[in-house]
């Protein structure tokens, strides 16, 4: 297989690492958790019943974690899903949309480009300036989306969760990092958490970022060249690594 013998360090939450690790191992790579992030639910600062029930508004999700926590909060507040009949749902990409579908809701909007900028552009084409927009996402989320919607009069940025480093007892990823050929980053917050835990990048590894927002976060922390997957997906990361390896082999 094309990635036989290639070692890839993964960062991000367990669900992200499972999807990406599975795609990489299918191509022959060996993977390990270089930095694991734990999802921590936050106390909800908003009244979902007053905000969403019976009212027309856009509910926007930028991750599967946000979807799951949102519906868990609905259950805690004893809110029947039918009370959201006037709401419309937007997701940042197919993966987030698939999580939404598991709760019996199909997204009304999913951008062609699975990025914060792509989502913002799609919302601006569909949403009126007076329509309420609720962004349910991570407290560590990029400012790109709310900034792109700043001309809207009724946008609320509502943090549902945050991320923190997670380390298993006896785990020492620093040693394994030195063996990595590639190191993947799937979010700007993942870049920040990695540097908090490790301080610097491993010397040997080529970093691979998902999308421009993640790439900008790494660019602010390191001057080393790295790869950027423009397709915001596990397959996009795999293809980015494959393309570089094929290019090296040709040279």
Q: Characterize 91-100 residue by residue with b for buried, 16 or more Cβ atoms within 10 angstroms of its Cβ, and e for exposed.
A: bbbebbbebb
Residue tagged 């990029």 (tokens): 142
For residue 170, CA distances in Å to 34, 65, 152, 165 come to: 14, 27, 49, 15
Q: What's the confidence (pLDDT) of residue 157?
A: 94
Q: Give the mean pLDDT per block of 10 residues along the chain (251 residues).
A: 94 92 96 92 87 88 95 93 94 93 97 89 92 94 90 91 78 79 94 91 94 92 93 89 83 64
Q: What's the confidence (pLDDT) of residue 7?
A: 96
The DSSP bridge partners found for residue 166 are: 36
Q: What's the confidence (pLDDT) of residue 160?
A: 96
Interacting residues of 126 by C-beta distance below 8 A, sequence separation 6+: 90, 109
Q: What's the confidence (pLDDT) of residue 251?
A: 64
Long-range contacts of 209-213 (CB under 8 A, 24+ apart): 209/184, 209/185, 210/184, 210/185, 210/186, 210/236, 210/237, 211/114, 211/115, 212/115, 212/117, 213/115, 213/116, 213/117, 213/142, 213/144, 213/187, 213/188
Q: What's the confidence (pLDDT) of residue 173?
A: 64
């Amino acid at each position: 297989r094309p990635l036989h013998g290639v070692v890839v360090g993964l960062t991000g939450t367990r669900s992200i690492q499972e999807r990406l690790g599975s795609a990489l191992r299918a191509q022959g790579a060996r993977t390990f958790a270089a930095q694991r992030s734990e999802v921590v639910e936050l106390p909800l600062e908003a009244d979902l019943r007053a905000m969403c029930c019976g009212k027309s508004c856009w509910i926007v999700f930028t991750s599967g974690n946000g979807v799951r926590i949102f519906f868990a909060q609905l259950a805690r507040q004893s809110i029947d899903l039918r009370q959201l009949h006037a709401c419309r749902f937007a997701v940042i990409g197919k993966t987030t949309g698939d999580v939404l579908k598991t709760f019996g809701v199909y997204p009304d909007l999913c951008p062609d480009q699975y990025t914060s900028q792509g989502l913002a552009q799609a919302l601006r084409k569909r949403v009126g300036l007076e329509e309420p927009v609720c962004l349910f996402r991570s407290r560590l989320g990029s400012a790109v989306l709310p900034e792109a919607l700043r001309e809207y009069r009724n946008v609320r940025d509502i943090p549902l969760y945050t991320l923190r480093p997670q380390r298993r007892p006896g785990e020492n990823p620093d040693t394994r990092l030195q063996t990595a050929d590639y190191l993947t980053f799937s979010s700007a917050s993942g870049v920040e958490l990695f540097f908090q835990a490790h301080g610097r990048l491993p010397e040997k590894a080529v970093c691979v970022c998902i999308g421009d927002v993640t790439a900008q976060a790494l660019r602010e922390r390191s001057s080393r060249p790295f790869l950027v997957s423009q397709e915001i997906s596990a397959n996009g990361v795999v293809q980015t690594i494959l393309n570089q390896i094929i290019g090296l082999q040709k040279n």
